[in-house]
Amino acid sequence: MTFITKKALPRRTVLRGMGTMVALPFLGAMVPALTATAQTAAVPTPRLGFFYAPNGMFLPNFHPVGDGGRDYEITPILKPLEAYRNQMVVVSGLSNNGIVSPNEGGGVHTRAHGGWLSGVLPKRTEGADIEAGKTVDQFAADVLGRDTSLRSLELTTESNFTVGNCENGYSCTYQNSTSWRSATTPLPHERDPRVVFQRLFGDGGSVEARLVQMQTDRSILDSVSDSLGQLERKLGAGDKLVVEEYLDAVREIERRIQRTEQNNAARPLPWVEQPAGVPETYDEHVEVLFEMLALAYQTDITRVSCFQMARELSGRAYPNIGVPEGHHTVSHHQLNPHNIEQYTKINTHHVGLFSKLIERLSNTQDGDGTLLDHSILMYGTGMGDGDHHTPYNLPVILMGGGCGQLEGGRHLKYALHTPFMNLGLSLLDKVGVNVASLSDSTGRLSDL
């Protein structure tokens, strides 16, 4: 029997050591008790995440056929998420009409990405006078980020220093940043797992000093052993197990980052210079960033995130899955069967990597449920069919339970050209953030 008192461990409890701070996941000891015999149920904390894939998709291999419902057939691109069907909502028919302009001409990739989460047509400029729109994630961060050490976390697999003109007179900034805090403030996305790790677990000092410390073989957790010992004396057996599993995960990420740096030092680098700490393969890069995002959610360091699977216009090849051609090249499929096959392989591979994050969240306890139960993650693209270059009938996957606010196991099919920003409003409602309108929105999505 567990002895219950009216005292509770603070939700923001951390382990402290010399120059180090390690946040903790949610523990049962953080739930206050109202009486000596009855413990209050934990109020789940919502998390919200957005995941962007470039160059659109081949829509017949994404959108299920039919008029929606529960009995839809899983399509090839959705196949990696089939095991989580009961926590998945597939949405069809939405269009981001706010970024369409008959007078803009070229630059469709930039507009598709730059306005994906705002519905606002980016200003065509190569200079410093950039302008787009505040994005859905940042409206959420205004509220959900009040009580977390990081207001939001923006991650990417791409280099984040490309500047100048990236497409038809549009600044590269519009492709670099999926997330905008205001119409003129794009947020930088970090690609280096080592820098992300420092942001999550550092406690003062310079990044350079932290990197020097981490280059030793000593885990940062060694310096908080005294604090950990004091904490464990206050915990029950179940909470001790949660802490042990969490700290093991932190150690494993640190070991992986160190191994990556050792590999980069021991092997000749390719002609493109890579920052230390970035894995050599794309798949490993995505996976380690996903691991740290999951830890950031688990420890309540942040509740809002935005992730780029790759930058719009990406020409990355994927020879490991049998696609030696560039992504952007095969996205111009022109109904060529070979291009469609290769395009679909890339789309499916990206979703497969995303499914590994879903698996991790579904296996991570969070209060009375799992992290997946308490999250809403939206995966999608800024264009529909990449060959058409239009933001119509956008691919949209919603994963998670949203603390009971999102019912899975459904395909929702809306009338074509239903505003994509209606979905943005609906998602904000589900995490307790009320916004009157977004760009061309006409209201909330029915039945979501």
CATH for 177: 3.40.720
* Structural domain for 142, as ranges: 46-191+302-448
pLDDT by residue, tens only, the chain of 448 residues: 333 345 567 766 667 665 566 677 777 777 665 444 444 456 889 999 999 999 999 999 999 999 999 999 999 999 999 999 999 999 999 999 999 877 767 889 999 999 999 999 999 998 889 999 999 999 999 999 988 888 999 999 997 666 677 888 899 999 999 999 999 999 999 998 888 887 777 644 444 555 555 555 556 667 677 777 778 788 888 788 777 777 777 776 676 666 556 655 654 444 433 334 788 899 999 999 998 899 889 888 899 999 999 999 999 999 999 999 999 999 999 999 999 999 999 999 999 999 999 999 999 999 899 999 999 999 999 999 999 999 999 999 999 999 999 999 999 999 999 999 999 999 999 999 999 999 999 999 989 9
The answer to whether 323 touches 338, Cβ cutoff 8 Å, is: no
Do 160 and 202 share a structural domain?
A: no
What pTM was estimated for this model as a whole? 0.85
DSSP class of residue 37 equals S
> Does 297 map to a domain?
no
Q: Is residue 119 part of a domain?
A: yes
Helices 282-298 and 337-362: crossing angle in degrees, nearest 10, is 30
Task: Note whether residue 332 is domain-resident.
Answer: yes
290 found inside a domain: no
How far is residue 193's CA from residue 397's CA, in Å, rounded to a whole number?
26
**DSSP per residue, 104-147:** --S-HHHHHHHTTTT--PPP--SSS-------HHHHHHHHHTTT
Does residue 288 sit within a domain? no
- Whether 394 is in a domain gets the answer yes
Q: Are strands 88-95 and 410-419 parallel, antiparallel or unpaired?
A: parallel
- Report how many domains make up the chain: 2
* Single-letter code of the amino acid located at 325: E
